[in-house]
Structure 1
């Protein structure tokens, strides 16, 4: 599905990943959008270098002292040949590139760089997930699982040395994110939500999974965000939650950037002293309620650009989803049903003729003026008719 050429002035570009369209519109952000809002002091960086045996690393993964960020879709990218060649390198005693870990105050380590490599090694040694195939040198080991290897080769794997650069917990979180973006060595660069997922705790990951597993979420978004390969499902839910947790949209101006708002939201959700279990339950109900109301209003065009010039079903637009869901959550559904035609007509006209609004949902979407613009338009359209 490609952008409809008849939609003029709306700016539709659907994201493509590994040659497949993802069903989500690209947000055309400035190159500075992903940078830290305020410069940070290099003196705050605390990184130490440590050596681990592979046996030690596997034990840490099993005991959950080293977190591999479960439920990370990008782990599926590696093919059988890549996995086998990695194990072969270890059997040949070829040193692996250094890993990066981030340490929490409680001593828990999270993988910052090297997630796919460690997942592969753990899957081979502990999980028996695959057999060695398409090896380059050790042809006699073809088709073998870990348990089929000779004791000497098993010891070689267990005794292999891993070099890891460990980011100290005193390093500010925004600096950790920036370090991740700079040193990420994956074949396909991780986006901000994928980085956030790797560095967050299980509480926020579990809650975002709960939100994005909701059937009304899939219905309202046409199913295109189900287990999304770029984690745009989690980001969409988090954007709603982050803005919903603000006392007033005007507070956003003091946050500095959308990325910082989302980072802070994850930090809050991960801390039960800041967001209790009952508050999470309330936020989940708010999320489902807003999804239902968005679908009630816009049907199959919910959270998609839908100008008056076309009935083409556009890709999901995350700025529309976040702003309309927050605006809709406390609006009476009977009111929405009664005024649906007027609200939808107004929204479509804004998507066609209001270029400030079009810009606010298309590019530099974290800019405070544009955030305020798209929220103001949605709120205005939901007011009772004069």
Structure 2
């Protein structure tokens, strides 16, 4: 094994050259936009998917619950330090891709638009059950003028570098993802069943995950959603009222207590029916939004997997061709696109039902013809 004293002059030069090259790819500058500016740049032209500050596909799911959102807004009112917003300039468009901070920016936008009613605040209790528009004009201006530091990655950074930055930020403390936690808490036959199915190579091929989710039980999370949402269809109010994570926890706990061999056989059959159809229909795409890409949008996966499965239950002979109405294209924002977009609250009961029904009806009605 080499020690520092063993390194040759050429080796040391190679080290310096590599550091210089890699540093250039992550060159950045610091800015301090106000909350109002963040929100305006995020919301302006969002309907055309041309907003200046935008959420990339691999971060589209909005996962903060009301308590988490409220606590963040409370921190801003109190003047407490909050994490920097990390963005990256896109050379071709001049837009800023959010590398880290999408939940924060969407929460600020929701609050300024009166979509968020503050709950469970422990310090500013007088703000509980209030909306932004109910504050005095002076307090509204003071809030909108709060500055939050933003790190802007150079436009020369490639998509690979941007995702690498996202991975490093989000794995710096290696927090457990929900499914990693569930494996330790909710043990039983149904958990084992999910783990077993997630190893299926055909399913794994349909789900090319990004680097951040590799070996982190993402396939198990997707399968849990497939079974849980299929079982509660068409009533998704429990998902919305509890939040996705708590709903899935409760579902998994209950299934571990009541999972029978009969249900195992039924769910295995449903799983196989669904992945065989997706393999035939999306041979070079799987559950990604576009062929040749990686990263699975959970709202997209839910719509395609459950919608296709429900269509197959009604008509096992549906055509294995992608209906026009299910093609995801920001230049043609169809109803399916709108049902999976990640502006705010991606898992309202209506949105979940809409995206599943759109897929189901598209396959049943042969809309590709």
Q: TM-score, normalised by structure 2?
A: 0.49
- The structure where helix makes up a greater share of residues is 2
